[in-house]
Amino acid sequence: MTNTWLPPAEYVETLPRATAYACLYFTDTAGRALQLRAAYLGERWQWPGGNMDPGETPWETAVRECREETGIVFTGEPRLLGTHFATDRGAEWPANRIGFIFDGGELTDEQIAGLVLDPREHSEYRLGTLEEWEREMEPREFTRLAEIDRARRTGMTVYVETDPDED
């Protein structure tokens, strides 16, 4: 750290890089978590959401991405379940990632049956209990899911960090 004042544009260049994403966490009426299988990045399971566009708020991102990825036009109020910080993964993702996970509530059977996935982004959706998801997911990814589910059940917002060395 230097004591020399820098103009904002120069100062920002000295800071760590980060991208931000936002998503919605849905369950069905039985409490099973909805996830989408990515058609990229090793076919990881993820929630409806994505990276923020310039000028967009996290809430706007979550609602837009949900509509684009599932066809669901979400009209609920913003309720933050948690934030997620992932450290730089080098060549895989050369920046830190900051995520905002909002509560999408419970989907009815009709809403689930009406999901429309973009095959360029997701190959399938699935509903599962935490026990089922734990068998399907990398430990680091499952920890995030379990913490967000806990936040939904307890009403307490969570903060989750993941590190590339945790797998």
Range of the domain at 71: 16-166
Counted domains in the chain? 1
The answer to whether residue 11 sits within a structural domain is no
Q: What is the pLDDT of residues 32-85, one digit of tens each?
A: 999 999 998 778 899 999 999 999 999 999 999 999 999 999 999 999 999 999
The answer to whether residue 2 sits within a structural domain is no
Q: What is the pLDDT of residues 94-149, one digit of tens each?
A: 788 999 999 999 999 999 999 999 999 999 999 999 999 999 999 989 999 999 99
The answer to whether residue 8 sits within a structural domain is no
**3-class SS at 15?**
coil
Distance CA 77, CA 80 (A): 10
The answer to whether residue 7 sits within a structural domain is no
What CATH number does the domain containing 41 carry? 3.90.79.10
The answer to whether residue 4 sits within a structural domain is no
> What is the pTM (predicted TM-score) of this model?
0.90
The answer to whether residue 147 sits within a structural domain is yes
Q: How many CB atoms lie within 10 A of CB 23?
A: 25
The answer to whether residue 9 sits within a structural domain is no
